[in-house]
Amino acid sequence: MMKNALSVIVLVLFLCSCKTTITVNGEDGKIIREDWTVWLEGEGVDNSGNEVDGSNLVWVSDIDGELGSGNLLKIPGSDLTEGDHEITLKFKSYNSSAENDSVNLTIRYLKPVLAKKEKDYGADGTTDQLIIYSHDATTGVLSSRSESQLIPNSQATALYHYFYRYDGKSEWIKGDTTVPVTGEYDYLEGFSWYYGAGEPRIDSKTYQYEWSTPGMFQHTHHYKYNDNGILGSIEKDTSGDNIPDEITYHTIDSLGDVIIEEEDLDVDGVIDARTNYFNTYKDGKLIEKVVIISERNGDDVFETESKFKKFYTYDDDGNKTMVEVDQDIDLTLDAITHYTYELR
Ligand SMILES: [Ca+2]
Ligand SMILES: [Ca+2]
Ligand SMILES: [Ca+2]
Ligand SMILES: [Ca+2]
C-alpha cells in the first residue's frame, strides 16, 4: 500500500504539465528604484489546465528568498536587496517538475546626488555663481548637466555635461559656453571648450583628458593611477605630439588625499614648483586644508608664492555641504560654496 502511494506521487511529478505565467509588469531587465513599488502579477495552471488558487503560488527571489504569496505581488523596492534579482513564480506544492515563469529585475537604491552648487565670492552672503545639476539615470550610468551663470556678470552661461560611473566618481566632462563670455572673463566670441573629446578612454590606471579650444590649442592629460586606484601623476601634452611637456607627481597620505604635488614644467627630471597640502581630519573626514604653493628659486630653494586655507563641512550622511576659503589666511573668509543634494 505504501509502495503504491509513492508510485502515484512519482507519477504525478513526472507527468505534471502545470506551469506559472507572469503576465503584468514582467519586463525583463527592468530597473526598479528603491522608492518605487514592485508590481508583479501572475497565474498558475494545474495538470488539468485549471487555474490554481493564488494562495498556492509563491514569489521567490534568488537573492532574498520567498517574497509573498498570491496572484499579485506588491512589494516596496526598499524591501528588496539592491542588485539584480531573478524573481520566479512557483507552486507551493509539486513545483519540482512545474514550469515556473520568472523575470529579471534590478533594484537600485537612491543615492544622494549633487543637485546645486552656490558660490559666494567675497563671503558676503550673496551668491555669485549658481550651478544646477540635472541627472538622468539610464542604463546604470548617471549623467548630469550643469548650468552655471556668473552673477553679476550674467552674460555668461556655461553648459557642462558630466558622466558618472555607478560608484559616483566623475569619469568624463564635456562643456561649452553657449553665450560669449564678457566682463571679467575676456574670452573670444564663440569660445567653446571641452574635456574628453571623442569616446571616454578609461582603464583602471590611465584616464585620458583632453582640453581644447578650437583654433587655439589642445591639451591631452594622461592620468596615471597606482594599483590602489589613487592618482599618481598627470602627464600633460600641450603640443599634440603625444610626448609630455609637463608632468605633475602626487604624494598621497594614508586616506588617499594628495599632500604634495610636484610639477616638472619642462620634463627635465627637476621639480620646478611644489604645492604642499596640510590636511586635518576628524572622524575620517577632511575638515581643514592649508595649501602652500612654492616655486623653485635657485638649486634647492623653493619660495612661497601663495597660501590659502579651506574648511569643509559635511551632513550626517558624509556628503560635503560647505567649503569655506580664506584666500590669504588672515582669518577672514573670502569665498563660500554651498552644496545641495537630492536623492535620485
Ligand atoms: Ca558674494
Ligand atoms: Ca608634447
Ligand atoms: Ca624641470
Ligand atoms: Ca581672508
Q: Which CATH number belongs to the domain containing residue 134 in this structure?
A: 2.40.160
Q: Of the residues 93, 108, 123, which one is the last residue of a structural domain?
A: 108
Q: Are 199 and 302 in a shared domain?
A: yes
In percent, the amount of the chain with pLDDT more than 70 equals: 66
* Residue-level pLDDT at 279: 95
Q: Determine the 3-state secondary structure of 3 from DSSP.
A: helix
Q: Are 310 and 209 in a shared domain?
A: yes
Distance, in Å, from the CA atom of 331 to the CA atom of 290, rounded to the nearest integer, reads 12
| Greater pLDDT, 256 or 276 | 276
Ion ligand 2 — residues with CB < 5 Å: 237, 239, 241, 243, 245
* Residue-level pLDDT at 291: 97
Q: Are 298 and 232 in a shared domain?
A: yes
Q: Are 170 and 201 in a shared domain?
A: yes
| Ligand in nearest proximity to the CA of 307 | 4
User: Considering the entire predicted model, what is its pTM?
Assistant: 0.63
**Residue type for position 173:** I
Q: Domain holding 33: CATH number?
A: 2.60.40.10
Q: Are 163 and 299 in a shared domain?
A: yes
**138 Cα to the center of ligand 2, angstroms:** 38
Q: Are 9 and 75 in a shared domain?
A: yes
Listed ranges 59-73, 125-139, 236-250; the one with the highest mean pLDDT: 59-73
Mean pLDDT score of the chain: 74
Q: What confidence tier does 275 reach under pLDDT thresholds 50, 70, 90? A: very high
| Ligand in nearest proximity to the CA of 264 | 3
Domain that holds residue 293: 112-343
Q: What confidence tier does 71 reach under pLDDT thresholds 50, 70, 90? A: very high
**194 Cα to the center of ligand 2, angstroms:** 19
Tens-place pLDDT, residues 123-144: 999 887 777 776 655 433 344 4
Residue 17 has pLDDT above 50, yes or no: yes
* Residue-level pLDDT at 96: 63
Phi, psi of 148 (to 5 degrees): -120, 145
Q: Are 44 and 122 in a shared domain?
A: no
* Residue-level pLDDT at 188: 27
**297 Cα to the center of ligand 3, angstroms:** 12
Q: Which of 43-47, 187-191, 237-241, 265-269 has the lowest mean pLDDT?
A: 187-191
Q: Of the residues 108, 142, 162, which one is the last residue of a structural domain?
A: 108
Distance, in Å, from the CA atom of 91 to the CA atom of 98, rounded to the nearest integer, reads 8
Residue 305 has pLDDT above 90, yes or no: yes
The answer to whether 245 and 239 are in contact (CB under 8 A) is yes
Q: Determine the 3-state secondary structure of 206 from DSSP.
A: strand
Domain count, the chain: 2
Q: Are 93 and 124 in a shared domain?
A: no
Residue 322 has pLDDT above 90, yes or no: yes
The answer to whether 175 and 193 are in contact (CB under 8 A) is yes
Tens-place pLDDT, residues 199-231: 333 333 344 444 444 444 556 677 777 776 667
Q: Are 284 and 218 in a shared domain?
A: yes
Task: Kindly list the strands in the beta sheet with 102-108, ordered across the sheet, starting from the edge strand earlier in the chain.
Answer: 30-33, 102-108, 83-91, 57-61, 65-69
Mean pLDDT of 176-181: 34
Residue 289 has pLDDT above 90, yes or no: yes
Q: Are 98 and 171 in a shared domain?
A: no
